[in-house]
Every structure is written in structure tokens, then in C-alpha cells.
């Protein structure tokens, strides 16, 4: 067991160093101007591209710049704006619920608490981790579809279950890498390790990726 964990940590370190070199400017692809706006972008990002979320969120915040403005709207008004992001009914409920939490319970401050954030319908662990990581720098792993895919192919995990993938990442990557490895995974997944027809011959991890050896 100890030997396996040592190998896992060595693989994790090599992965992190290689990806950091390949993607030196890796950051969150959602716009991060204000904490509460990032949280709403996180809600909108479920099964939607970050590019589309950023565009839609700009329209939302242009019309309703404050959380109290969003909280006061009827669901149909919010739904019409966020419709391009998909899952309109559930996301509308989540956006309004988050805005009401901000105004009624959290005194306008996004909590640095994953469990509190997950009280909002539609905010699961992935989005809660994104929020506390990006806003407060709290060590947290965001396991999205890219992260799940690339971590399994590399050999960091053998699972496709997000909770298990998160735990496996946390076992082998140092805490100070947790936030960044999520961003690096997204960059890798988009450019090389795509779901269909991955560009393994061009991938910077090709020499040690489990999928290749």
C-alpha cells in the first residue's frame, strides 16, 4: 500500500510539473470579477460551456447588478435570460435561491464553507469547491468532466465517480496544488485529452500517461 501511494505521489508531481510547464497561464475560465457573481456563474456552468456562461452572465448582471435585484425577480424573468445555458428550470431556482441566501442569511458575503454553500439547491460539491477555492484560496478540488476523464487516463484514479476521483486526487497531490490541478486538467482535456479522438501523440504527458504505456 505504501509503495503504491509513493508511486501515486510521484505520478502526481510529474503530472503537475509537466502541465504547469505546458499551460503556464492556466486559470479559471469563468470570469471572476465578484465573488457572488462567480458563484452564479458556477451554478450556470452545469452541462454548459464556460464561454456561454460568461456571455449569459454578463447579460444577467447588466440587467440585475445586485443580488437583491435578482432575488426580487419572478422566475420567468430570470429564466428568459439564462435559457441559453440549458437546464433552465433548475438553474433559475438555484440562481434565485442563491441570491436570497446572500441577501437574507449571509449579509452579502459568500461563505467560505462548502457545506453552507451546498444548502443552495443546485450547488453540489463541485461548484462549492470552485467557489471556496477561487474566492478564498481554500484548498479544494473541482472535479468536472475534463478532470474525471484525464485523471483516469493518466492513472491517478481508476474511478469515474466524482467523489472518489476527488479523494484520489487529494491523496496524491499536495494541498497547495488542489485548486490549480483542476484548471490544468481542463486545459489538458480541451487541448489534447479530448473525450473523442484524444491527441495522445501531441500530449505533454504521453511519455508517462497510463493510457499510453
Q: Which domain CATH number covers 69?
A: 1.10.340.30
Domain ranges, residue 43? 35-136
Could you tell me which residues come within 8 angstroms of residue 5 by beta carbon, excluding any fewer than 6 positions away?
171, 172
Asked whether residue 56 falls in the same domain as residue 105, the answer is yes
Kindly provide the b/e burial profile for residues 110-129, where b requires at least 16 CB atoms within 10 angstroms of the residue's own CB.
bbeebebbeebebbbbbbbb
Whole-number pLDDT of residue 66 = 97
Asked whether residue 155 falls in the same domain as residue 130, the answer is no
**What are the tens digits of pLDDT across the range 41-94?**
999 999 999 999 999 999 999 999 999 999 999 999 999 999 999 999 999 999
Outline where the chain has alpha helix (H). Answer: 2-22, 35-44, 50-63, 67-71, 75-82, 88-104, 114-117, 125-136, 145-154, 162-172, 178-191
Measure Cα distances from 116 to 124, 143, 167 in Å: 11, 19, 20
Distance (Å, whole) CA 159 – CA 81: 36
Whole-number pLDDT of residue 211 = 83
Tell me the average pLDDT of the chain: 95
Distance (Å, whole) CA 134 – CA 170: 17
Residue 213 has pLDDT above 80, yes or no: no
Q: Determine the 3-state secondary structure of 115 from DSSP.
A: helix
Q: Is residue 202 part of a domain?
A: no
pTM above 0.75, yes or no: yes
Please say which residue of 103, 136, 169 terminates a domain: 136
**What are the tens digits of pLDDT across the range 113-133?**
999 999 998 899 999 999 999
Amino acid at each position: 500500500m505504501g509503495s503504491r501511494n509513493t508511486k501515486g505521489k510521484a505520478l502526481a508531481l510529474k503530472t503537475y510539473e509537466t502541465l504547469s510547464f505546458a499551460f503556464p497561464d492556466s486559470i479559471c475560465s469563468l470570469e471572476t470579477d465578484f465573488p457572488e457573481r462567480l458563484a452564479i456563474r458556477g451554478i450556470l456552468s452545469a452541462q454548459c460551456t464556460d464561454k456561454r456562461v460568461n456571455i449569459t452572465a454578463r447579460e444577467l448582471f447588466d440587467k440585475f447588478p445586485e443580488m437583491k435585484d435578482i432575488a426580487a425577480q419572478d422566475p420567468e424573468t430570470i429564466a428568459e435570460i439564462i435559457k441559453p445555458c440549458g437546464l433552465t428550470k433548475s438553474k433559475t431556482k438555484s440562481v434565485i435561491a442563491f441570491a436570497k441566501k446572500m441577501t437574507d442569511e449571509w449579509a452579502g458575503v459568500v461563505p467560505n464553507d462548502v457545506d453552507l454553500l451546498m444548502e443552495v439547491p443546485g450547488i453540489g460539491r463541485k461548484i462549492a469547491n470552485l467557489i471556496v477555492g477561487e474566492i478564498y484560496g481554500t484548498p479544494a478540488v473541482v472535479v468536472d468532466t475534463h478532470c474525471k476523464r484525464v485523471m483516469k487516463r493518466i492513472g491517478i484514479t481508476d474511478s469515474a465517480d466524482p467523489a472518489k476521483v476527488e479523494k484520489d486526487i487529494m491523496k496524491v497531490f499536495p494541498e497547495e496544488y488542489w485548486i490549480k490541478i483542476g484548471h490544468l486538467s481542463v486545459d489538458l482535456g480541451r487541448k489534447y485529452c479530448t473525450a473523442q479522438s484524444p491527441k495522445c501523440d501531441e500530449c505533454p504527458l504521453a511519455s508517462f500517461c497510463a493510457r499510453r504505456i
